[in-house]
Amino acid sequence: MFVPGSWCGVTFIAYLDFVAQNDRLEYRTIDTDFGCGVIQKSRNGWDTKRPFVFRDSWNSVRNDPHAAFQFMQKHRDTLLNLVSVDQFVRTEAEAVLMS
């Protein structure tokens, strides 16, 4: 049955699974639109908050899209390493100046 309104799917599950399992990556999610995830090889300068503190809890909900979404919403800032557009631009500009 069609339900009108915004729905972005469950790609956040794959995103969180990927970044949680790769220690050599840094990531941020820019708080724009429905979130724009940026993943790259580790470098100095990003204060990456890893979702590993939630590993057991995440693994217990990740196979249920509804429960996974509720969990992500409750812990979104930490899980997604959420930053504003201004924070992201400032951090990137500083990184360019330092290189």
pLDDT tens track for 59-83 = 899 999 999 999 998 998 988 889 9
Q: How many residues does the chain have?
A: 99
Q: 4 lies in a domain?
A: no
Handedness of CA 38, 76, 5, 68 (dihedral sign): positive
Q: 6 lies in a domain?
A: no
Domain that holds residue 66: 11-98
Q: 42 lies in a domain?
A: yes
Domain total in the chain: 1
Q: 2 lies in a domain?
A: no
Cβ distance 50 to 25 under 8 Å? Answer: no
Q: Give the chain's residues under pLDDT 50.
A: 49, 51
Q: In the prediction, which pLDDT does 43 show?
A: 67
